Amino acid sequence: MNRYIVWLLASLLLISLAGCGSGGGSKLNSQNLTNASVTASCSSLSGVTCIAGRFIDDAVANLHYACSDAAGTVQSVTDAGGGFSCPNDSGQVDFYLINNAGTVKVDLGSVAVTQTSDTTGLTTPGYLVVTPRTLAGEDANGSETYSNTSLNITRFLFLFEPLSNAIATISPANVITASLPDQEQLATLMPVTTSTASSSTATSSVTTVLSASDFSLNEAGFNAKVQPLVTALARPLGTQAQASAHLDATLNATRAGLYSSPGSAFASSSVSTAGFYGSNGTAQLFVDPYLMYDRAGRVFGFAVTDLLSCNGGCANTTNSLFSGAELSVFSPDLTPSSFSVFSRGGQWRDTLTLPGSEGVVSISQGRLYRDHIMDNANNYQSTYGASVQVPLADLGQFNLPQQGMSGSYALIRSTLVAPTLDPSIWPSKVVLPLSLLLTFNSTTQIVGQLGITILPDGNIVTDLNRSCASVDPATLVDAKGVQQYPVGVIANVFSYNGATYLSPVFLLPVISAIPTALQGVIVGESDIQQTLVRLRIDPSNYQYQMYANAIDTTTHLPLPDGPSNPAVWMNFYQIRLVLAAVNSSTSGTSAPSSTTASGTLISSLENCPP
């Protein structure tokens, strides 16, 4: 399977999600609130394309939101995973808490309803993730600090989580549920008035007891403002320091996923090639990367690279001169203090490099925003809006000092990793940590095996010694003292036809501990039933199997489990030249017959020995 086919499948899956109007597995009104402010969901509107998203601090359930377009107004609540859905033409979505009568309200803020996936590459509305940083405008402006607004919104929302000191706990299954009884307590924040006419106020009026100006107060000022609610709920108000640490972890969860070059989706006026492109006047560099960013902020992966002589002309802009592509790799940084490769503002940290035989490619700038790092101003504005001012530091730039070369690059997060996992499944229906044996088969023989462990934090790591020993989630050293390595993430969990499934995304980096025959990637999407790769688990009889979950062209439903749709492994050691051949096509839609060579491997799983 070549990269184009994978991208095409991903596109079809996302299009099917957009058509049903409730992508991301969002089950609107799942909390069955009777609140007067819950009137309609996006899926109930006729002829509307809906953009789905999640509100994440931890996942925030029962949070009210409102959005509308010409077809009608959506007033609903987030589901158990923080899910929401708005019409594509809404303009913005407002988030708030409100009592049952609809008379006392806390206004958390608004964000633009906008797609997060490139229109050329995926041709479908994307997946919108909203955090307190988004409400404070810090995502859009690339702020490297947290404002009082984002910190205080975080602290406020954790008042609705009964677990003591919940703000200090990090788990993909955590949920903050703003229950009706708790939201009734918002009335404790009503302003004190001596007016004798207050009793004649119409019951339909709404009093906003907290708004943007209140959330922008300093820590002491906000503490005083919300003290009546803190007393009424009898729960502690987290500190700004705790909120800062929690937001750091939230950023890692919202950025997790597989990043790759989008090929001709980002074709500038000077080059139509995937990945990195640069020239020093006599030679051109091409890099086709696959990078994994896990839920802890670790980054690992590899890239197919080539440095081409262009005899001083450097006119080749289509990769057609690929000759001897080589593998380049950057290994995971296992230093706990340096997990996050993205800064708070989404900038690449300067520790990220791509070592190769021609020298070390250093990523000098580029900011992740709406799932993309763009390579030039035209592409930036074609995706984010023609009127958007393009900050220079947001564009992807790199340098190769050994060759006197610099250039630009574009990356897209090609898999949708859900920041939170359904708590009714994770971990209640999954025995964690889960140790399994991954077996790679060609059509005639076993190519290799690798032990893996799925951790409670949603990351997947190696089990090199096949000991099934517990693994420290921070250092990745197991109980036997063996250093393990990150190899993937669980993108989502779901139930389908009575079975429990995990949606894994694997990328095995090029490190000496893993056999070279196994370096490669399994590409998966994360949207509930519609995922390219799914791992079916049945702990009762220790059965585990991975399947490719394409969509049946007749029923438009996921294919049934069975030997006819095994998961497919893309092995870079065997198909790296094929990737180069795919890139040589400007349209990205054709490739030579060698793509069917022994680069596709079937993966199967068995349980860990008792």
Q: What distance in Å separates the CA atoms of residue 524 and residue 492, rounded to the nearest whole number?
A: 10
Mean pLDDT of 72-88: 88
Residue 346: both structure tokens together? 């989404």
Q: Give the residue with greater pLDDT, 217 vs 601.
A: 217
Give domain limits for the chain.
3-8+25-190+204-255, 257-413, 434-607
pLDDT at res. 28 = 29
Q: Label residue 534 by pLDDT band (50, 70, 90).
A: confident
pLDDT at res. 151 = 98
First-to-last alpha carbon distance for the chain, in angstroms, is 36
How does strand 104-112 pair with strand 64-69? unpaired
Contact predicate 252/486, CB 8 Å: no
Q: Label residue 526 by pLDDT band (50, 70, 90).
A: very low
Q: What distance in Å separates the CA atoms of residue 10 and residue 415, rounded to the nearest whole number?
A: 8
Of 47-56, 69-78, 370-379, 548-557, the one with minimum mean pLDDT is: 548-557
At 570-603, the pLDDT tens digits run: 776 554 444 443 333 322 222 222 333 334 566 7
| Amino acid in the structure at residue 110 | S
At 267-314, the pLDDT tens digits run: 444 444 556 777 787 777 767 778 888 998 888 887 766 777 776 666
Q: Give the residue with greater pLDDT, 39 vs 107.
A: 107
pLDDT at res. 521 = 76
pLDDT at res. 315 = 56
What percent of the chain is predicted at pLDDT more than 90? Answer: 28
Contact predicate 259/211, CB 8 Å: no
Element counts in the chain: helices (H) and strands (E):
11, 31
Angle, CA of 478, 484 and 490, to the nearest 5°: 100
Annotate 342-371 with b (16+ C-beta within 10 A) or e (fewer). bebbbbbeeebebebebbebbbebbbbbbb
pLDDT at res. 91 = 84
Mean pLDDT of 463-480: 92
At 350-382, the pLDDT tens digits run: 767 777 777 888 888 899 888 888 888 888 887
Instruction: Tell me the pTM.
Output: 0.84
Q: What distance in Å separates the CA atoms of residue 547 and residue 150, rounded to the nearest whole number?
A: 41
At 108-132, the pLDDT tens digits run: 999 988 765 444 333 334 578 899 9
Q: What distance in Å separates the CA atoms of residue 125 and residue 52, rounded to the nearest whole number?
A: 9
Mean pLDDT of 465-472: 92
For residue 605, give the nearest of 527, 528, 542 by alpha carbon: 542
Of 25-29, 59-63, 383-387, 416-420, the one with minimum mean pLDDT is: 25-29
Q: What distance in Å separates the CA atoms of residue 17 and residue 574, rounded to the nearest whole number?
A: 33
**Residue written as tokens 């789905």?**
52
Above 60 in pLDDT, residue 263? no
Q: Give the residue with greater pLDDT, 374 vs 340.
A: 374
pLDDT at res. 76 = 92
What percent of the chain is predicted at pLDDT more than 70? Answer: 72
Contact predicate 411/289, CB 8 Å: yes
Looking at residue 170, the DSSP 8-state letter turns out to be -
Mean pLDDT of 181-206: 69
Above 60 in pLDDT, residue 107? yes
Q: Label residue 162 by pLDDT band (50, 70, 90).
A: confident
For residue 85, give the nearest of 18, 2, 176 by alpha carbon: 18
Mean pLDDT across the chain, nearest whole number?
76
Contact predicate 504/494, CB 8 Å: no
Of 14-23, 137-146, 190-199, 306-315, the one with minimum mean pLDDT is: 14-23
Above 90 in pLDDT, residue 140? no
**Phi, psi (deg, nearest 5) at residue 225:** -65, -40
Q: Give the residue with greater pLDDT, 290 vs 25.
A: 290
| C-alpha neighbours within 13 Å on the C-beta side of residue 66 | 13
Contact predicate 445/439, CB 8 Å: no
- The three-class DSSP label of residue 179 is coil
Q: What distance in Å separates the CA atoms of residue 135 and residue 218, rounded to the nearest whole number?
A: 17
pLDDT at res. 528 = 41
**Phi, psi (deg, nearest 5) at residue 233:** -85, -15
Residue 405: both structure tokens together? 């070369």
Query: How many other CB atoms are found less than 10 A from the CB of residue 139?
Result: 23
Above 50 in pLDDT, residue 40? yes
pLDDT at res. 116 = 58
pLDDT at res. 193 = 53
DSSP code per residue over 276-295: EEEE-SSEEEEEEEEEEE-T
Chain-centroid distance of CA 559 in Å reads 25
Mean pLDDT of 23-51: 60
pLDDT at res. 18 = 31
Q: Label residue 96 by pLDDT band (50, 70, 90).
A: very high
Query: Which range has the top average pLDDT, 45-54, 297-306, 312-321, 460-469?
Result: 460-469
Above 50 in pLDDT, residue 322? no
How does strand 175-177 pair with strand 59-61? parallel
Looking at residue 610, the DSSP 8-state letter turns out to be -
Annotate 7-27 with b (16+ C-beta within 10 A) or e (fewer). bebbebbbebbbeebbbbbbe
At 386-422, the pLDDT tens digits run: 788 888 889 988 888 888 888 888 888 877 788 889 8
Contact predicate 415/125, CB 8 Å: no
pLDDT at res. 234 = 94
Q: What distance in Å separates the CA atoms of residue 331 and residue 511, rounded to the nearest whole number?
A: 7
Q: Give the residue with greater pLDDT, 577 vs 74.
A: 74
pLDDT at res. 215 = 97
3-state secondary structure 225-251: HHHHHHHHHCCCCCCHHHHHHHHHHHH
Q: Give the residue with greater pLDDT, 563 vs 161.
A: 161
